[in-house]
């Protein structure tokens, strides 16, 4: 389920031209290259149990949380990161992600962290709750 969900997030990013055109540095799973330039995003799976990762026999609905971190190295990147966060939410909130073999029941924006500036990089965090059911 996690592999299919990871692919679905990447597919949604690639078809969301507003987001893709603004995140010129790209989208990465778990870790971006150390010297990554431009605005970019990194996503992770958080808050999932091994049963949700592996799909237990009795577990019909799988719930997970996806965290998306948006980064900018620009001098005035705070404004850029806030705009990118807004576009990301518009492009992903309550969207039916393309997951073959799974029915996506919920893709909901549940929280957004404060804007931060660490080591000359602007960052904002967005969390989503995603529920899927095996078809």
Q: What is the pLDDT along the chain (135 residues), one digit of tens a residue?
A: 778 888 889 999 998 888 999 999 999 999 999 889 889 999 998 866 555 555 555 556 678 899 999 999 888 889 999 999 999 999 899 998 888 888 888 899 999 999 999 988 999 999 999 988 888
Distances from the Cα of 108 to the Cαs of 12, 67, 134, in angstroms? 14, 12, 19
pLDDT value at residue 100: 85
What is the pLDDT at residue 103?
87
pLDDT of residue 58: 57
Q: Can you say how many angstroms the Cα of residue 22 is from the centroid of all Cα atoms in its chain? A: 15
Contact 133, 61 (CB under 8 A): yes
Spatial distance between the Cα atoms of 128 and 130, rounded to a whole number of angstroms: 6
What are the chain's domains?
2-134 (3.30.2000.20)
Per-residue model confidence (pLDDT) at position 56: 56
Q: Report the interhelical angle of 77-92 vs 2-15 (nearest 10°).
A: 110
**Nearest partner of 71 among 7, 16, 21, 28, judged by Cα:** 28
* pLDDT of amino acid 43: 94
**What's the sign of the alpha-carbon dihedral 41, 46, 48, 54?**
positive
């Amino acid at each position: 389920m996690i592999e299919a969900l990871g692919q679905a997030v990447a597919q949604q990013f690639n078809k969301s031209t507003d987001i893709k055109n603004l995140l010129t540095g790209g989208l990465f799973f778990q870790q971006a290259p150390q010297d990554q330039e431009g605005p970019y995003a990194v996503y992770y799976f958080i808050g999932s149990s091994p049963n949700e990762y592996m799909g237990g026999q009795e577990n019909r609905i799988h719930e997970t949380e996806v965290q998306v971190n948006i980064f900018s190295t620009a001098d005035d990147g705070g404004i850029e990161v806030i705009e990118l966060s807004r576009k990301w939410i518009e492009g992903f909130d309550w969207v039916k992600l393309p997951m073959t073999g799974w029915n996506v029941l919920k893709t909901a924006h549940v929280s957004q962290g404060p804007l931060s500036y660490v080591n000359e990089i602007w960052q904002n965090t967005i969390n989503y709750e995603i529920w899927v059911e095996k078809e």
